[in-house]
Amino acid sequence: VDLAKDEEELKTIEGRLKKINPQAPILRCNYSKIHPKEILNVGAFDLKRVLEFEPEFLDDPDAEHQHDSRVQSTSVKVSEEVNIAMLENWIERLITQDGANLYRYKGVMAVKGMDQKFVFQGVGMLFTGNFEGKWKPDEKRDSRFVFIGKDLDIEFLKAGFRACVVTGNKLRFEVGTKVEANTGKWIEGTIMKQWDDGNAYLIKLDDGSGLECWAPIDTNHYVRPRTIA
């Protein structure tokens, strides 16, 4: 508030901010000094609140940004669930390589092995994603995203997203199978669960430690058949 002339100007500014986002708290501070607990880990993103003041949050954005022919938008909806590790890896690569051209992206995902919805949104290289609320028993577990940006490769985006979808194929290893897990080094272990907390496998290490680890994706990079000596 150190840059404001008086209380009247502060109230005018705060009124404008409330029009942009009526749910956002406004914290007054001097010279940008504020306690970290006021702004970190506050659970500020909530899908229900977003839809209250932005009902079109997940709508097809074809009508937006038509003033620039280079600005494009695309949305994809699939009825399958996604692998959360593959989704996060894909988004990380996407914003690292093309973040400058991404104006906005958002989505709600049905994650394999999770009862909660994964909701994400971002602008450029700024990304946030959280698990928000459980799917209702009679609710269809669809996954969908929206991307808006400049000079986007639409087919590349769609193909990248679909690559994160969990297909109907069975996982390679059944519960009880003896395998080797990559924990930084290969350690022998036993498959304890499939699709545990969003991960393809929960593996108990057979090194006497009693520890368990996850294999987030069913590939030889994370878990492989046990080598026969």
Q: Are residues 107 and 215 in the same domain?
A: no
Mean pLDDT of the chain: 83
Q: Are residues 55 and 158 in the same domain?
A: yes
88 vs 2, residue with greater confidence:
88
Q: Are residues 73 and 130 in the same domain?
A: yes
Query: What pairing do the DSSP bridges indicate for beta strands 102-110 and 116-123?
Result: antiparallel
Does residue 22 lie within any of the structural domains? Answer: yes
Q: Are residues 138 and 153 in the same domain?
A: yes
Name the E strands within the chain: 71-78, 102-110, 116-123, 126-134, 143-150, 178-182, 186-196, 199-205, 212-215, 223-225
Number of domain units in the chain: 3
Does residue 171 lie within any of the structural domains? Answer: no
Q: Are residues 95 and 198 in the same domain?
A: no
Q: Are residues 36 and 87 in the same domain?
A: no
Q: For residue 171, what pLDDT is reported? A: 95
Residue range 76-103, pLDDT digits in tens: 899 999 999 999 999 988 888 888 888 8
Q: Are residues 31 and 97 in the same domain?
A: no
Q: Are residues 66 and 148 in the same domain?
A: yes
pLDDT higher than threshold 80 for residue 70: no
Residues written for the chain? 229
Average pLDDT over residues 152-173: 90
Does residue 139 lie within any of the structural domains? Answer: yes
